[in-house]
Amino acid sequence: MADPLILFMPSGKRGRFPEGTTVLEAARQLGVYVESVCGGRGICGRCQVEVQEGQFAKHGITSAQEHLSPFGAKEQRYAEKRELKPGRRLSCSATIQGDLVIDIPQDVQINAQIIRKAADTRVFERKPAVQLCYVEVDEPDMHKPLGDLDRLKEALERDWGFSNILVDQYLYPQVQAILRKGKWAVTAAIHKDEETAQASMIALWPGLHNEAWGIACDIGSTTIAMHLVSLLSGHVVASAGTSNPQIRFGEDLMSRVSYVMMNPDGREAMTRAVREAVDDLIGKVCEESGANRNDILDAVFVGNPIMHHLFLGIDPTELGGAPFALAVSGAVHTWADDLGLGANKGCRVYVIPCIAGHVGADAAAAALSEGPHRQDEMMLLVDVGTNAEIVLGNSERVVAASSPTGPAFEGAEISGGQRAAPGAIERVRIDPETLEPRFKVIGCDLWSNESGFAEAVSKTGVTGICGSGIIEIVAEMYLSGIISEDGVIDGALAAKSPRIVSSGRTFSYVLNDGDPRITVTQNDVRAIQLAKAALYAGIKLLMDKLGIDHVDAIRFAGAFGSFIDPKYAMVLGLIPDCDLSKVSAVGNAAGTGARMALVNRDYRREIENTVRRIEKIETALEPDFQSHFVAAMALPNKADPFPELAK
Ligand code: FES
């Protein structure tokens, strides 16, 4: 008779194993990650699995519990001391007696941590780079003069299979005291380097230690966002964000590079500022979750190339001009301690590789999250900032570029423009008959023409227009005929509506005639046209490279993308024609990619391999950029059709 079949959910991995095999062993053989800190001694409880009832084989099963061995002594002891929910078993102890469906629960949280929702709630299969390993070490023996540390290494090899373990230097003076404090039972944190297969002991605690945290951090030029993640469950337990303090050295990336070039200690000052901000965020997420900094053992960072370099203490001057040479493009492995971050002394840092001099580790992480390289459909991934990062491709080919969109989409260079903040206009509609506008501001649910609006915004007032509002107002001006295809405000409409006013040789549209008076000038429309044409031309170059004239799906990454309405983006010709139901915002995809690389080291290999095969296009050097740019100055575009808009 065939051996029993075991099916693991949600991965769907399955295999046949002889009766008596532990569920943990079956999981290991099938490559299903089940946490185990105590090495199967039945004391950590991390290896819990849920036994499902149901049918999965033709002959069916009635109760999966019947197909597992009854509670053994280890499991009984654990269940008496700590709670083991109904249906749960310790996989290190329960053995297979028949066909089984096993679920790996995502909530094995011994200390009942509050599970915080990350913006992206996907839970990724775990295979962290750092693992906790509990061992019982032989006591010293005069007849066997093997050092305490050497016997600890022996135990780690015997129980966990790690050979030739390296030991972080700072641990040498501590090993003897920790072993004695733990009465020869200790928990070691082992970092496994996938490429070299080298295991390193990076931390050590007396007795059973059941906490291991990691941080995933996206260093943006405006905002730094961080997740604190349990390495034992993969859950995000706290998230926090802060402004990048480098803003005081320069609003945008190029002004920060200039600051470094013009000030002898400029690089040091900006490196210090960003590291301090990251360290403060670590404090915040620890405070929020009750986690101890000393239990942070791994960290993954992403950022655009200039943020990446400044965080690592590298002079970004070379990135300020052609050929935009990165000091390092591959993944960086270092120590949190070397970066001045308060975490466990042995905490490792992994920085995701950069794609090119203008397409950074943040774009690589976003690609890891959205996975254009994993699917058949042609996906366009766009992160709009002062420099838009664009990735386009599918499982066969992926290309990437950046496009100099400038700061208009962020509200700069626009007369009434501002950053997204309470009081900023974020939604706009214009009546095509009367040309009267109505709008919504951040922090208020009412439209400006609804009763109670003035009261509702009395605290902040109406302060300006943010990026998503600017996209909408220009698109609505086009849809209501106020501006032509060429972006010219039609002065003849001044006779029809008091909203159209003369501003010297051109005309403006009055969006808010209260205090402050907010107008959209001809120059504002031009600034948006220039920004959107630069973005579109960059996308078009990538489409040319792949020989395609249509994309199947579009993902907007980043804060700007989260608030932009896809329909208006297409009305303006910011993005190419695409089925609108396939255009979506994915929020901080870079942060999600960082989280993936933190909880599963296979994702590190995946993105390293993907980045190596991404073809980089330097938009400034492509002869067709100019013609694509000129065609894209029109609304939505002079050369390309937008059939989806007509639907
Ligand atoms: Fe620790 Fe099963 S591995 S209780």
**CA angle centred on 407, ends 401 and 409, rounded to 5°:** 85
Q: Quick one: pLDDT band at residue 150, thresholds 50, 70, 90?
A: very high
| Residue 190 confidence (pLDDT) | 98
Interface predicted TM-score (ipTM) of this complex, two decimals: 0.99
Average pLDDT over residues 261-276: 95
Query: Would the CB of 38 count as within 6 Å of ligand 1?
Result: yes
Which residues does residue 10 pair with via DSSP β-bridges, in sequence order?
none
What percentage of the chain exceeds 70 in pLDDT? 95
Q: Which of 584 and 10 is assigned the larger pLDDT? A: 584
| 50 or 209: which leads in pLDDT | 209
Does residue 45 have its Cβ closer than 6 Å to ligand 1?
yes
Does any ligand 1 atom lie closer than 6 A to the CB of residue 47?
yes
pLDDT band (50, 70, 90) for residue 413: confident
Q: Is the pLDDT of residue 90 over 50?
A: yes
The overall average pLDDT reported for the chain is: 90
User: Is pLDDT above 90 for 169?
Assistant: yes
Ligand 1 atom with minimal separation from the 38 CA? 1
Ligand 1 centroid distance, CA of 147 (Å): 28
Nearest CA to ligand 1 atom 4: 42
Query: Angle at the Cα of 612 (from 606 to 617), degrees rounded to 5?
Result: 125
pLDDT at 307: 96
What's the whole-number mean pLDDT along residues 552-560?
A: 89
Atom of ligand 1 nearest to the CA of 37: 1
Query: For the chain, what's the residue count?
Result: 647
Pairing of strands 348-351, 332-335: antiparallel
**Residue that wins the pLDDT comparison between 62 and 611:** 611
pLDDT at 63: 54
Cβ atoms of 187 and 132 closer than 8 Å: yes
* 33-47, 522-536, 616-630: least confidently modelled range: 33-47
pLDDT tens digits along 124-137: 888 999 999 999 99
| Token reading at 88 | 């749960």
Give the mean model confidence (pLDDT) for residues 162-180: 97
Residue 393's pLDDT is 98
* Cβ–ligand 1 contact at 133 (below 6 Å): no
pLDDT-derived band at 114, boundaries 50, 70, 90: very low
Tell me: pLDDT of 407 over 70: yes
| Residue ranges of the chain that CATH labels 3.10.20.30 | 5-103
Query: What pLDDT, on the 0 to 100 scale, is given for residue 112?
Result: 33
Question: How many whole angstroms separate alpha carbon 426 and alpha carbon 436?
Answer: 17
Per-residue pLDDT, 120: 61
How many whole angstroms separate alpha carbon 558 and alpha carbon 366?
9
Does ligand 1 come within 6 angstroms of the Cβ of 132?
Answer: no
Please name every residue paired with 390 in a beta bridge, in sequence order, or none if there are none.
Answer: 382, 401
Q: Judge whether residue 561 has pLDDT over 80.
A: no
Task: Strand 5-9: give its sheet, edge to edge.
Answer: 14-16, 5-9, 100-103, 48-51, 88-90
Domain with CATH 3.10.20.880 in the chain: 130-206
The predicted model gives 58-85 an average pLDDT of: 71
Residue 40 is predicted with a pLDDT of 84
> Is 3.40.50.1820 the CATH number for 130-206?
no
Q: Specify the pairing of strand 166-167 against strand 198-206.
A: parallel
Q: 448: closest CA among 461, 433, 435?
A: 461
Whether 3 has a pLDDT exceeding 70, the answer reads yes
Residue 8: what pLDDT?
86
At the topology level of CATH, where does 5-103 sit?
Ubiquitin-like (UB roll) (3.10.20)
194 pLDDT more than 80: no
42 lines ligand 1 (CB under 6 A): yes
Cβ–Cβ under 8 Å, residues 386 and 402: no
Q: Choose the most confident range, by mean pLDDT, from 51-65, 74-88, 220-234, 298-312.
A: 298-312
Model confidence at 536, pLDDT cuts 50, 70, 90, reads very high
Which DSSP helix (H) or strand (E) runs through 471? Answer: helix 467-479
Where does the chain hold its CATH 3.30.420 domain(s)? 362-407+528-639
Neighbours of 33 (CB within 10 A): 18
Average pLDDT, stretch 210-214? 95
Question: What separation in Å is there between the alpha carbon of 594 and the centre of ligand 1?
Answer: 28
Lowest mean per-residue pLDDT among 76-90, 367-381, 415-429, 476-490:
76-90
CB under 8 Å, gap of 24 or more: what pairs does 314-320 form?
315/260, 315/267, 316/256, 316/257, 316/260, 316/267, 317/257, 317/260, 317/261, 318/357, 319/257, 319/357, 319/358, 320/254, 320/257, 320/258, 320/261
- Confidence label for 410 from pLDDT (cuts 50, 70 and 90): confident
Q: With 90 as the cut, is the pLDDT of residue 539 above it? A: yes
Beta-carbon contacts of 604 under 8 Å, excluding residues fewer than 6 positions away, are 129, 194, 331, 350, 352, 597
507-526 pLDDT per residue, tens: 999 999 988 899 999 999 99
Strands 100-103 and 5-9: parallel
Mutation test of ligand 1: which of 47, 84, 135, 136 has the most ligand atoms closer than 8 Å to its C-beta?
47
Residues 424 and 461: their CA atoms lie apart, in Å, by 9
Mean pLDDT of 399-428: 86
Rounded Cα–Cα distance for residues 119 and 591 (Å): 9
Name the CATH architecture for the domain at 362-407+528-639: 2-Layer Sandwich (3.30)
Looking at the DSSP assignment, which residues form a beta bridge with residue 238? 228
Atom of ligand 1 nearest to the CA of 93: 2
Q: How many CA atoms lie within 13 A of 284 on its CB side?
A: 15
Confidence grade of residue 58 (pLDDT, cut at 50, 70, 90): very low
pLDDT at 55: 40
Q: Could you identify the atom of ligand 1 that is nearest to the CA of residue 42? A: 4
pTM for this entry: 0.85
Q: Is 46's C-beta closer than 6 angstroms to any atom of ligand 1?
A: yes
